[in-house]
A = this chain, B = another copy of it.
Amino acid sequence: MAGGISLKELAAELKLAPSTVSRALNDSYEISEATKKKVISMAEKLNYHANPFARSLRENKSKTIAVIIPERINNFFAQVMDGIEEIAQEQGYHLLVYNTHEDVEREKKIVNLLLNGRADAIVMSVTSQTSDITHLLKLHDRGLPIIFFDRVRAEIPTTKFITNDYESAYEGTKHLINQGCRKIALLTLGKELSTTKERQRGYNDAIVSEGWDLDPGLTLYCCHDEENNVKLIGDLLASSNRPDGILASVEKLAFATYQTVKRTELRIPTDIKLISFSNASVANLLNPSLTTITQPALSIGNECAKLLIKKLTKPKNYDLLDQVITIPSKIMVRESTLIE
């Protein structure tokens, strides 16, 4: 279709052997400066571009990294993507992007698709549904370098980049308590999620540290569907067990909370205080502005890409050690947790 000239044709034009032209183009030391110049200028003149598939086939690498995220309309993941791309573009890597929409079946399909080596490596965050991880193990067993970020799986022996979820959730809950909350709910996603577990631990410990009892009814496991979440949160707010503080584990659950509260007589922060993990730049434009636990998304993306590319280009010196690297989040206090 897109008919470009081949190396052979370029060589013919130059009355040189293909191998010579290839070496010249790759700036090999064995080629004279004179021919290099000739070759390069002719290549430009004829608009020659090396076929990436021939090269990938030959070299067994594609200069491509696959990124799998559970959600695209989410400032955290979008920023991580930007962070990955920043480094990737710099290093001449391409990004194959897949959105699982929090659907494990989709995740499995995508992961299986990547088994064929289309990408040199993978960086991913699992879905909130992901429980069984044989599909991920297969990936790793196949020798495909893989890095997890944020939502990780400890069972896969590789490097993971996360934030200090336990501390953040602990501090966030403590913050609510300090602001006068006495009954705090946790809104979160799937139980299997590493982030959910850590954040729940932090939340639990903060509650217990006050000498309070844990109320399982105050932990809500939400899902991908906004409408459903609004219903779930609405039921909690309408119940006799209504919390006066909420810690949302994901940005969209904070938004869902706003939407829910809007339909009631309740007010934030008067009746309910709200803090949420979120990288939304509009946090301070919400009504009221939202107190957030903001994750270092760009850095996470940067670090993932840097490590992966090092591993790909210098496999001897860099390994994807089975370790967890933590970059801390920041709490940004705003109106949604104010004492009025």
**When the two chains form their complex, are residues B285 and A259 in contact, meaning their CB atoms are under 8 A apart?**
yes
As for how many copies of this chain the complex holds, the number is 2
**When the two chains form their complex, are residues A1 and B143 in contact, meaning their CB atoms are under 8 A apart?**
yes
Q: Interface residue count for A (Cβ, 8 Å)?
A: 60
Q: Which of B57, B89, B259 contacts A53 (CB 8 A)?
A: B57
Does A73 lie at the interface of the complex (its beta carbon under 8 Å from any beta carbon of B)? yes
**When the two chains form their complex, are residues B116 and A4 in contact, meaning their CB atoms are under 8 A apart?**
yes
A1-15 CB mask vs B (1 if < 8 Å, else 0) is 111100000000000
A74-92 CB mask vs B (1 if < 8 Å, else 0) is 0100110110010001000
**When the two chains form their complex, are residues A99 and B85 in contact, meaning their CB atoms are under 8 A apart?**
yes
Closest residue to A54 on the B side, CB-wise? B57
Does A40 lie at the interface of the complex (its beta carbon under 8 Å from any beta carbon of B)? no
Contact residues in B for A120 (Cβ distance below 8 Å): 1
Q: How far is the CB of A74 from the nearest CB of chain B, in Å? A: 9
Closest residue to A288 on the B side, CB-wise? B287
Q: Which of B52, B73, B106, B255 contacts A117 (CB 8 A)?
A: B52
Contact residues in B for A115 (Cβ distance below 8 Å): 4, 47, 49
Closest residue to A259 on the B side, CB-wise? B285
**When the two chains form their complex, are residues A96 and B94 in contact, meaning their CB atoms are under 8 A apart?**
yes
Bound together, the chains give a CA A116 to CA B144 distance in angstroms of 26
Closest residue to A120 on the B side, CB-wise? B1
Closest residue to A226 on the B side, CB-wise? B281
Q: How far is the CB of A65 from the nearest CB of chain B, in Å? A: 11
Does A62 lie at the interface of the complex (its beta carbon under 8 Å from any beta carbon of B)? yes
Does A237 lie at the interface of the complex (its beta carbon under 8 Å from any beta carbon of B)? no
**When the two chains form their complex, are residues B118 and A52 in contact, meaning their CB atoms are under 8 A apart?**
yes
**When the two chains form their complex, are residues B285 and A142 in contact, meaning their CB atoms are under 8 A apart?**
no
Main SS at interface, chain A: mixed
Interface residues of A in 144-158 (CB under 8 A from B): 144-145
**When the two chains form their complex, are residues A57 and B51 in contact, meaning their CB atoms are under 8 A apart?**
yes
Does A104 lie at the interface of the complex (its beta carbon under 8 Å from any beta carbon of B)? no
Contact residues in B for A116 (Cβ distance below 8 Å): 4, 49-52
**Contact (A255, B281) CB under 8 Å given A3-B143, A49-B115, A96-B94:** yes
**When the two chains form their complex, are residues B99 and A82 in contact, meaning their CB atoms are under 8 A apart?**
yes
**When the two chains form their complex, are residues A282 and B280 in contact, meaning their CB atoms are under 8 A apart?**
yes
| Residue from the set A143, A282, A284 with the largest chain B CB neighbour count within 10 Å | A282
**Contact (A60, B1) CB under 8 Å given A49-B115, A82-B99:** yes
26 pairs, CB–CB < 8 Å, chain A vs chain B: A1-B61, A1-B120, A1-B144, A2-B117, A2-B142, A2-B144, A3-B143, A4-B142, A53-B53, A54-B57, A57-B57, A72-B81, A73-B78, A73-B281, A85-B99, A89-B106, A89-B109, A94-B113, A94-B118, A95-B97, A96-B97, A255-B282, A259-B285, A280-B282, A282-B286, A285-B287
Q: Which residues of A contact B (CB under 8 A)?
A: 1-4, 47, 49-54, 56-57, 60-62, 64, 72-73, 75, 78-79, 81-82, 85, 89, 94-99, 106, 109-110, 113, 115-118, 120, 142-145, 226, 255, 258-259, 262, 280-282, 284-289, 315
